[in-house]
Structure 1
């Protein structure tokens, strides 16, 4: 989603950044792992297909993706350049927006629900609270009014923020 293209969220353990071209090769490397493919329900892609997917996700109005960086705690929070360069990629966190219509009333405006998911792909960063913090930060971001950007489309402006009661989880 273009709405988060310049958004960086800094937490205690993680830094969330938009999924950009510079992340694709590492992400592609992760997604070659058969166990991650099975856990995420993903099919292997070529590197060229992964670059296409990154562009698609960046421009798609019904999903929002952040790369999860494992925050380098030796870097001060206000030194964003150092945080971004010294915090390694650990995974990603996403929300998929689904519009649900009331079947009984065709004239109603659809309700937008958010389905969230998180993946900590790097084994060394698992079981350290990164996924928990990344999900909490994303929940806060999507349920509060983000600052609109000049290129925010009308559809994006209608999606965010969404009420916390419209967040859902799917457990498989």
Structure 2
């Protein structure tokens, strides 16, 4: 008997600031219908401090999931392992999560949390998106961003790309990370 191949999406809402609107978008009927049509079989959601919201939304979304296996977790001791098993990463625009996905050359959709004050995430996402490392998405168009990521010609992040990433962060945000 052969194993059926899986196709996994990892959604990460972040560890330090709640992002309930991304969680809601990832469990919406349009998003679930889109990823099902794209052949995804597994949806893993890192929901951070929003466990009750995840439980409520996932129960409501269950009929829309169809054949998609939905699992969630608050935090991972080894987040990089989660990233390595994903075919597509949908991430809040935190620099650590972005860098992990880029290091493992994953298809990446980044959604900026507009509720954050002094939001440097937007500049970071725009800069990395403009050079082809990621697809910018929003909670309003998450299903369309996932569709775009399927055919988008992603630029591979260089193996020693951490320095380039720090340069972009420094240029956009004014951080001196050297």
TM-score exceeds 0.5: no
Greater strand proportion: 1
TM-score by length of 2: 0.30
TM-score by length of 1: 0.31
